[in-house]
Amino acid sequence: MSGWPFLRQPIENAASRSAAVPVQLQGRFRAYLLWRPRVEVERLNIASAERFGAPHLLDARGVSLAWRWSDVWRWRRGERLRLQALRADTLDARLVRVDDGSANWQLGAREPKPEEAEAEPLGGLPRFGSLVIGQGRIDWKDPVADVDLDIRLRGREGEAEVAASAGYQASANGRYRAMPLKLQVNAGSTLPLLHDPDTATDAPWVPVRVEGTVASSRLLFDGQAAALLGTPRLQGGLELQGRSLAAVGEPLGITLPQTPPFDLRGTLSQDGGVWRLQATRANIGTSHLAGDLRFHQRERPRRLTGELTGKKLALADLGPAIGARAGAGGQATGDAKAEAKQAAKAAGAEPAASPRRVLPQRRFDLPSLTVMDADVRVAIETLDFGTPAMAPLRDLLTRVRLNAGVLRLDELEAKVAGGRIRGMTRLDANERPAQWQARLDIAGVDVANWVRGLRREQASPYLTGVLQARLDVRGAGQSTADILASLDGPIDVRLRDGTLSYLVTEAMGLDLAQALGVVIAGDKPLPLRCARFDLLARNGVVEPRLAVLDNRDSTVRISGQVDLKDESLALRVVTQPKDWSPLSLRTPVTVAGTLGDPDIGIEGRKLAGRVIGAIALGAAAGPAAAVIPLVERGQKEEGDPCDPKVAAPLEKKR
């Protein structure tokens, strides 16, 4: 008899036993068990266990279901069920997972652990070579993967050939991995919903266009696909605009920084659990980037690899990620202050005034560093510090590696002002508090061309020279301020072939006569014999072991400390002249206050002594004699003051 209708009941019973829920085959029925096994039935209903609270798992009409006997045999041995094809004129599917990780679509298979839902939200659902739906609905609720989606399918009822010619439309509304979405899908042929990713030939590519909103971002994908749900398989052009990259990366398990608004264009593909983004344009705030990145979604932990390139990266666009004020897209610092004021008013008091803090206080998002691993090569033409006082870095190269919560920037190299910067940084988010380390080597940098704040209009810079610096420091904490407040390690800065403004030199010594001469004759730069700052940080307190600037006119020495915990300053600047001056008020200069509000003064006792002595002598011996206490004879040079071996004995003499 054609179609073996007498097999309806045995097949129904066998399917019910294997699926562990009732399976009903109703109405017209045909079975083909040889060569290309398949079942054609007027109505197929697969029940859902009562504890899932769904009326059924699947209720479909006009059904054709095809399989391979080898796949059935593997399924009976515990593997995931694979079906060659499912075609239905209408379909109503209710997919439900509960908190313990079990789902009504698992059909008698073992119950996966909740973490497996994060790897593949539809894990356990049969894999399809093709899925053809005329009309339908898929209601998908999965609290483990944080999914609540209502998917509606609209096509032509009847044979696949008719439906394919008309194309399909679908809408998806709800939440996917905690991410609100509202999408419209247009497919030019068989609607690609699910397929077996290990059997690529079973799922034909069809034209697909997806547009709508994902979280706060606008999405447009125009290409082709073989599956859109579960483990997608697709490739095509992508346009994505949104408020911050972090909102895009979070639902996919990708660690991306908080950023200003972005506009991304390129191609997107997904195959075998690997997403690939080839971004031809990624404008983030004022940054202009590109890249070729791969996200390995099936690996545990997930992993990001590839290359990030671009013409410009503005540091301000990554401000929140490094603890600084947000760029164009954020107002973290201002919002925090506003909240503090509101809280104080609510308590009936105004907040007490506090010194302005300079170091970034915003906490790093350390937990996100443990979400995935990464290995990305970075090549940026320009790194912009976001201030006209600093020249940008050029040809920035580094390798960003994130492994088990440890973030490293290795092989760091950049060019600036004729010199180069090399080094590495490391942040270990596993430690409590997080541990930070940096080793940097700066060589051959023209300091006036890098630190543009040293320049003056139509005049020579206050300071010039070739900068050499090395630092090997460590710190701990959850913000830039925390790390600097615990800073430990040496910092050695040297300047050669330089000049120092004559006015600056004399101002540090308060030499009235020569300062007035500068006003009259102009500020001529003095060649620097040497300049060196050999600093040592201990638990956030930076003290100079040697801090000296030496030129033909004076030797300037700096002592004291900078406490990065409270950003306080306690410095003393002493200028020793090498020349004769008839009207000198030289006395040590003090720098107190904080980094945000420095207080520069002089040591009054020594200055007062000179002035009182001049007045007394002038009263006794005449006005000409009053100049004698203010005469500075200068001091003969005694070796290289920038050499620690020479500097130490000289300091003892003083």
Each residue's pLDDT tens digit, 390-407 = 899 999 999 999 998 899
Angle between helices 512-521 and 502-509 in degrees, nearest 10: 160
Measured CA distances, 280 to 158, 238, 471 (Å): 42, 10, 37
Q: Are strands 168-176 and 147-154 parallel, antiparallel or unpaired?
A: antiparallel
> Has residue 247 got a pLDDT over 90?
no
**pLDDT in the model for residue 212:** 94
Question: Domain span at residue 205?
Answer: 5-242
Model confidence at 475, pLDDT cuts 50, 70, 90, reads very high
Give residue 297's pLDDT.
Answer: 81
Number of domains in the chain: 2
Q: What is the pLDDT of residues 183-222, one digit of tens each?
A: 998 887 655 565 555 544 455 678 889 999 988 889 999 9
Q: Picking from 41-55, 140-154, 227-241, 481-495, which range would have the lowest pLDDT averaged per residue?
A: 227-241
The angle subtended at Cα 362 by Cα 405 and Cα 260, nearest 5°, is 90
Residue 38 inside a domain? The answer is yes
End residue of a domain, out of 217, 242, 267: 242
d(CA 192, CA 233): 9
- Residue 496 within a domain: no
Q: Of the candidates 574, 586, 581, which has an alpha carbon nearest to the alpha carbon of residue 631?
A: 581
> Which pLDDT belongs to residue 627?
43
CA distance 50 to 571: 77
Average pLDDT, the chain: 77
Share of the chain above pLDDT 90, in %: 34
pLDDT tops 60 at residue 241: yes
What count of residues does the chain have? 654
User: Rounded to whole angstroms, how far apart are CA atoms 60 and 90?
Assistant: 6
Q: Which of 219, 242, 265 is the last residue of a domain?
A: 242
Tell me which of 213, 242, 271 is where a domain ends. Answer: 242
Whether the predicted pLDDT of 485 surpasses 60: yes
Using omega within 30 degrees of 0 as the cis cutoff, is the peptide bond preceding 433 cis?
yes
Asked if residue 268 belongs to a domain, the reply is no
Instruction: Assess contact for 498 and 465: CB atoms under 8 A.
Output: yes
Query: Cβ(67)–Cβ(15) under 8 Å?
Result: no
Do the domain assignments include residue 67? yes
Q: Does a structural domain hold residue 624?
A: yes
In a domain, 259, yes or no: no
- Asked, for residue 491, whether it belongs to a domain, the answer is no
- Of the given ranges (37-46, 272-281, 330-339), which has the lowest mean pLDDT? 330-339
Query: Does pLDDT of 629 surpass 50?
Result: no
Q: What is the DSSP letter of 392?
A: P
The helix or strand, by DSSP H or E, that contains position 410, with its residue range, turns out to be strand 406-416
One DSSP character per residue, 165-231 reads HH-EEEEEEEEETTEEEEEEEEESSS------TT-GGGS--EEEEEEEEETTEEEEEEEEEEE-SSS
Please list the helix, strand and coil fractions of the chain in percent, rounded to the nearest 5, in that order. Answer: 20, 50, 30
433 has a pLDDT exceeding 80: yes
DSSP letter assigned to residue 32? E
- Does any domain span residue 271? no
